[in-house]
Amino acid sequence: LLAELVDARRAIRVTIGGEVRVAGIEDAGRLRDALGAALPVGIPTAFLEPLPDPLADLVARYARTHGPFRTSEVATRLGIGGAVARQTLQRLEAQGRLASG
């Protein structure tokens, strides 16, 4: 199924934290801007528009689908440092987008 999504250009293969993963094409810009992921050529520009806080978007999605979790888990999953993950989680909590505990 994942190969079919990639073939249909609805998903892309990217390397995150040293692992090749499949992501929805709508996250291409977020992955590039937040994580420095190299993207395949030919992605429509609509999916590459800059967003205000792409890392927070990715961390918030992780939180919605993996809670409860440790800071180290989201850091490992996204290939970011623990301090960066912690700061992002704190920012999301301050914005009311995430609860800790």
Please report, in tens digits, the pLDDT of each residue of the chain (101 residues total). Answer: 999 999 999 999 999 999 999 999 999 999 999 999 999 999 999 999 999 999 999 999 999 999 899 999 999 999 999 999 999 999 999 999 999 98
Burial class (CB in 10 A: 0-12, 13-18, 19+), 97: middle
What's the whole-model pTM score? 0.93
CATH 1.10.10 fits 54-94, yes or no: yes
Sequence ranges of the domains in the chain: 2-47, 54-94
